[in-house]
Homo-oligomer: A and B are copies of this chain.
Amino acid sequence: MKGEIIAVGTELLLGNIVNTNGQYLSRKLADLGIDVYYHVVVGDNLNRLTETIKTSLKRSDLIITCGGLGPTVDDLTKEGVSQAMGLKLLPDKKSIKKIKYIFNKSGRPMTENNIKQGYIPEGAVVLENDNGTAPGVLIERDGKTVIMLPGPPNELYPMFENKVFPWLKAKADSTIRSKVLRVIGVGEPEVEDMLKEIFNSQTNPTIAPYAKEGEVHLRITAKTDMPEESDRLIARMEQKVKAILGNNIYGYDNESLEEVVLNLLQQKKLTISLAESCTGGLITSRLTDIPGASASVISGVVSYSNDSKINILGVKEDTIRKYGAVSSQIAGEMAAGVKKLNNTDVGLSITGIAGPDGGSAEKPVGLCYVGIAIEDSAKVKKFIFNGNRKKIKWNSSSRALDFLRRELLSL
């Protein structure tokens, strides 16, 4: 099957945004064994859009568009595809009802142009949008498949994963299976070095590293006639990699670090409270991104000022005076203090210098201490991170979660 991805939006042609949807869809189609021969980006212009679709229909079997399904006059993808394929756009009752319901629920007035989102090319399948008002569309006609997806990634990704991927998987000729091993605590060059022999001798399955912010993801991909056979190949490769990387592998596929940590807390029936300084609430926010977090996460304190460390967490003024707010001692007192304050099983703390100011030769920007109090003991670990403020916040929050993960595993 020859695939082609068309992103619609003048903002892409102006360089306001980069075509990450193209990359996302390419990866997914590669996983399915579908060859992608072209990406095209075209603006919000009906003529050029229609011509683009016509060209693509001549050379590709599968066309996936993203963007241009919204309510505005600039949203023209369905119009362009319908013109190129000679189809009428008809109102879809169910979609229109849903759009009205969403507006009704939110209490915002619905303007007339929103109805446009519920018009669908004749004979097409509607792909419901669980995260927005514009439904997606799937058309099969004359041996060609055209799939139209919304542009915002938070709408596109789940629609693709839940609706398009399974549909395409059923159509694909050979079976490609893949599994991602998520690694933290060792950098990409180190991972490459540790796995050098495996990387050099790979054929089927293949294994490839992807550097993520503060993590490395290893994708193992096998291509055979049978899913079971592919899975067997992947499992064998996974075992080899695990023997080398061990606990540095924290999760699989789409599992996030915060999800893994929360699952561990739940498995071990432990409650946690957090005291964050340099990360400003980011660790608590990441943990509470996971549904059901409230059963384990009792409270967080963002003790940005010394006063709040002293008054809320019970950190000793004397300790701050002696060692400074960014110190192993304070991290320990913060962890014990927040644990006591909230009467939780675990207390996690972090104190550091996120920059760009506030660093010194002795305590540079990027220095962080993470404390973990469990039962009567407290452990503190020191880290130094590079990069700008946001990067330091993110990486220190990740390594704090990872430290906690390793401690929970050892309980």
Contacts and interface: CB of A to CB of B under 8 A. Distances in A.
Contacts of A71: 188-189, 192
Contact of A285 (B187, B342, B393): B393
Interface stretch (A118-126, A226-234, A296-304, A327-335): A296-304
A292 interface: yes
A300 B304 contact: yes
Given A42-B37, A105-B384, A188-B72, A302 B280 contact: no
Contact of A284 (B13, B280, B298, B364): B280
Given A208-B10, A299-B312, A302-B301, A190 B281 contact: no
A41 interface: yes
A25 interface: yes
Given A20-B18, A304-B300, A193 B111 contact: yes
B302 A308 contact: no
In the complex, the count of this chain's copies comes to: 2
A131 B391 contact: yes
A18 B14 contact: no
A266 interface: no
Interface string A12-46: 11111111101111111110000011111111010
Given A39-B12, A189-B71, A386-B106, A302 B281 contact: yes
A30 B17 CA distance: 13
A213 B111 CA distance: 19
Contacts of A18: 18-20, 22-23
Nearest to A17: B23
Contacts of A208: 10-11, 74
A223 interface: no
19 contacts: A15-B27, A15-B28, A18-B19, A37-B42, A37-B45, A39-B39, A39-B40, A40-B41, A72-B209, A74-B208, A102-B386, A105-B364, A288-B354, A294-B305, A299-B305, A301-B302, A307-B342, A311-B341, A312-B341
